[in-house]
Structure 1
């Protein structure tokens, strides 16, 4: 008699597990982020620039460091890509050495797979396409117990310290006249960056913007060095599903190899810039 009742219970349990598993497998969302990076413009442009010139330069550079991104995610994968915004005519034509280098440095879609720990990103540098292949960084997150509200989501604070050798805009600073060339071309030393992340367990995925991940909920805000990334909108299980495509374009290189390519090209451009300005052989005196 008990067996007759047990059989329907087992069937219902199996069906429930199947429904939950299927729902998790089909779970998808989109999060939209705004990224801002503060830059010390004192190190750019001629040393004799007046305050008005510095102000105009800062305005021209502003759009280069305020960007919008879209993160498409599911339980195991995510794709983080910049929203396409057309530049105003001539926007990057008068920015000096740094703007010239930055305009030749384009980051493409960034793919994360937390199951395989793969991290892939398409990058374009001076007209050449690269596929940067790496493993997901390991963050030693420390939970602080602090909370705050971001929109309708309750968020928890986590911190981490990372060592980074990634290329930043400061690396494109033009050479100074009296700068020691040997000092300038030294191998780049890793810099320590303090990261503060805010995540919500109301969206239980280990995903986040850029290469941030590994918390028990979607990361909605990141403060890392001079960069702040803030989520502005979330859509869970949209009607129109998006296929998360693994980036494949470009010559495959590691992150370390790519950084070396950028550093070498930057040094070459610095030397050309110095010579044209009169600080080296063939330059004006």
Structure 2
């Protein structure tokens, strides 16, 4: 009964707030994204605290980013804010991750369309996909983010098999010998990629506000009756720090057109082939030594 009353209140508030937004409405939101990394499980306990700190400092620029979402009632662009690299960051690791992370992203929630520009090893692609529709569940819980009252929603999301930010070390259950069984993988691979996996799905928790009644959010997240200000998914947290509504200078929100148009499935196949080539080039013990030099 309480949840039903909350839903009615949400609908009423949304209708009233939406009526004051003109057709040419536009807004900007700044988001900070942070992904944590479990260096203990990756290092198998062999790294010192000093080594862990050094690696974490080098990877900070890859796992802590700032994005700007420019949006109107139906469209949005989501771009990483460029910044200068601090000494000791960047390097080969940063260059590699830059090839495997997305470029500027365009969403059209009315047409359920997602377009993403991506430069991959010197080649320009335009990845075209449908927006993944999440089955959001609302429980009526609220909290304050800045000056905005936000409502909680949760959903289970299918994870792209090339989502490197969601990559984790494989379970070590198979390493343990059970009674009456032999350990099948007693010979370990020298390739560190063989120890990694991407989960098939993950729980997503989002916080949205009806004070900005647009069906938008950071990255691929959308589908709620208000702007999504915070997302928690796996080891990644995305949090809005600033919102500007109806800025004096408005930007054209246009679908990108540059690059070879491919589907997400086709693009993933291209990435997998490139990774295979690189594993063959730097594989085996050479790959392990190369990894340790970083």
Asked if TM exceeds 0.5, the reply is yes
SS at match of 1:210: coil
Give the SS at the match of 1:265: helix
Aligned to 1:51: 49
Q: Are residues 1:105 and 2:100 paired?
A: yes
Looking at structure 2, the residues matched to 274 and 43 of structure 1 have their Cα atoms a distance apart, in angstroms, of: 22
* Structure 2 CA distance for partners of 1:254 and 1:94, relative to 1, 3 Å: closer
1:164 shift after superposition: 1.2
1:178 maps to 2:152: no
Trace 1:83-232 onto structure 2 (pairs within 5 A).
83-89=81-87, 91-93=89-91, 95=93, 99-165=94-160, 166-169=162-165, 178-179=188-189, 184=194, 191-232=200-241
Q: Which position in structure 1 is the counterpart of 2:66?
A: 68
Once the two structures are overlaid, the 10-residue window that deviates more, 258-267 or 155-164, is 258-267
Indicate whether 1:233 and 2:242 are aligned: yes
Distance 2:147 2:46 in 1: 49
Task: For 2:287 and 2:199, locate their aligned partners in 1 and report how far apart those are by CA, in whole Å.
Answer: 32
Distance between the aligned counterparts of 1:272 and 1:47, measured in 2? 28
Which of the pair has more CA radius of gyration? 1
Distance (whole Å) between structure 2 residues aligned to residue 43 and residue 129 of structure 1: 35
- Structure 1 stretches (4+) deviating beyond 6 angstroms? none
Please, what TM-score do these two structures have when normalized by structure 1? 0.79
Secondary structure of the residue that 1:264 maps to in structure 2?
Answer: helix
Measure, in 2, the Cα distance between the counterparts of 1:162 and 1:171.
Answer: 15
- Asked whether the 8 Å contact 1:37–1:227 carries over to 2, the reply is yes
Q: CA deviation at 1:156?
A: 0.2
Q: Report the counterpart of residue 25 of structure 1 in structure 2.
A: 23
Q: 1:45 to 1:190 in 2, by over 3 A?
A: closer
Task: Report the 3-state secondary structure (helix = DSSP H, G, I; strand = E; otherwise coil) of the residue aligned with 2:91.
Answer: coil
CA contact (8 A) 1:106 1:125 kept: no
Q: Any idea what the Cα deviations from partners look like across 1:124-176, whole Å, max 9, x if unmatched?
A: 12121110000111110000110000001000000000111242146599xxx
Partner of 1:256: 265
**Deviates most, 159-168 or 130-139:** 159-168
Relative to the length of structure 2, the TM-score reads 0.77
**5+ long unaligned stretches in structure 2:** 1-17, 170-186, 289-294
Aligned residues: 252
CA distance in 1, matches of 2:150, 2:115: 28
